[in-house]
Amino acid sequence: MQKIKNFFIRIYNAVFGFGSRFIIRLGTRVGFRIKFYFHDRKVQGRRLKQPLVIVSNHVNYKDGAVIGITFPTNKIYSLTAKDLFEHSRAKKWIMEQSRCVPIDRSGNAGTEWLKISVKYLKEGKPITMFPEGESSYGGEMRHFKPGFVSIAYRAKVPVLPVYIEGPYDKFIGKRQRIIVGTPVSLTPTEKLTGAYLESEATRFENMVKALRDEMHEKMNRKGKK
């Protein structure tokens, strides 16, 4: 009897989860009217062809949903600040439906987030991480923390740089834009040192900044604001 009950619970969760994620993605797409740009669409379009770590600048808490609808056919998990799950039941539900993985940014994060991320990647599921650690709300990018490098190194996967143009404080307001780079492998190394982690974090930070400049150049050519 318990097996039958568990079966129907799984069916209910699968159907309800799919429906809620569809509504969240559709609402985000329509509300922000997202415009997609690509560094090289032949290399990386809107379908991820392999498990990888997506790294992006961090405008606000909606960024995970924006990344999710950028690649609509992929099941993407996003490392998200644990305290966001504690704001309200509604926000916790949205985070869970958006496949967010809580990480404590107070300095006592431990390594559970690292283990979970590597596990997902080895199962073929992409991971999103915002290495700034905090939202910039459209301001200057902060220095990238190297946690994403540890994940990519242990899972032996490439990193995909992405830039989100911000801010977007109002729903159905200013048009949102995102530019997708191309997957890049980590620099080979025999040992994972602190210096290596910082060097790679800075390297990918500069790639995201380069994507920002490339997007602005495309917008200027077309007279966009």
Number of neighbouring beta carbons within 10 Å of residue 186:
18
pLDDT of 90: 73
pLDDT of 102: 72
Cα distances from 14 to residues 4, 10, 19, in angstroms, run: 15, 6, 9
User: Residue 179 is part of which domain span?
Assistant: 2-221
CATH code of the domain in which 207 resides: 3.40.1130.10
Q: Provide the 3-class DSSP secondary structure of residue 143.
A: coil
Q: How confident is the model at residue 109 (pLDDT cuts 50, 70, 90)?
A: low
Q: How does the average pLDDT of the chain come out, rounded?
A: 80
Q: Specify whether the CB–CB gap between 126 and 67 falls below 8 A.
A: no
Euclidean distance between CA atoms 71 and 91, whole angstroms: 22
Q: How many domains in the chain? A: 1
pLDDT digits (tens, 9 = 90+) for 27-75: 555 555 788 999 999 999 899 999 999 999 998 777 888 888 899 888 8
pLDDT of 194: 93
pLDDT digits (tens, 9 = 90+) for 176-192: 889 999 999 999 998 89
